[in-house]
Amino acid sequence: MRIQVSGMALLRIRKYPDPVLKRPAQPVTKIDGALHSFIESMVQTMYAAPGIGLAAPQVGDSRRIIVIDADQQNPGRRLLRLINPEVLELDGKITWEEACLSVVDYSAQVQRAARLVVKALTPDEEEVEIEAEQFLAVVFQHELDHLEGKLFIDRVSRLKRQLYRRKLQKLIKEGKVENHASPSAEA
């Protein structure tokens, strides 16, 4: 489903427990105009949400694409559009409070690597290596998890996930969240 807003196509962000969020994404094999348009729609959707990162599975597309702009003071200045990203290095540990555009009304402390190096293609088919630390490293890992069919709630305790599922069921009953699947069916 697309919504036209001032000439740009906004994509529908899928919400947990939508099954598309649990599927691992497939590598992009063809970079063309249609892919460029899709990536730009992802960027506009991320900004409109508002968010600082978005992975293709979050908008129902199971390809390995992420967009990130963690500089909220200067939107667009450090925007990253990455195709087929892969982690080359992970170092250290950091705990950060995370939330997600696909996980309604919930945040939690998640432990991640404090530093990482990622290799990816840009939409111009240029291979890049990006080193990120602290907050940006967390953002990268959060978005890369989406490409593996994981959400940040998969990294919290089973008890916290169960409590969140109960809260989500209540939100669904109140009509605040669209029901895509049964959250009690997932471990």
Residues carrying an active site annotation = 143
Handedness of CA 134, 136, 137, 142 (dihedral sign): positive
Q: Report d(CA 15, CA 100) in Å as an integer.
A: 9
14: amino acid identity, one letter: R
Q: Does residue 109 contact residue 37 with C-beta atoms inside 8 Å?
A: no
- Provide the 10 A C-beta neighbour count for residue 171: 17
Q: Which two tokens stand for residue 66?
A: 């992420």
Give yes or no for a contact between 64 and 83, defined as CB atoms under 8 angstroms apart: yes
Q: Where do we find the tokens 């196509």?
A: 9
Cβ 80 vs Cβ 138: under 8 Å? no
Nearest to 107 by CA among 66, 156, 170, 61: 156
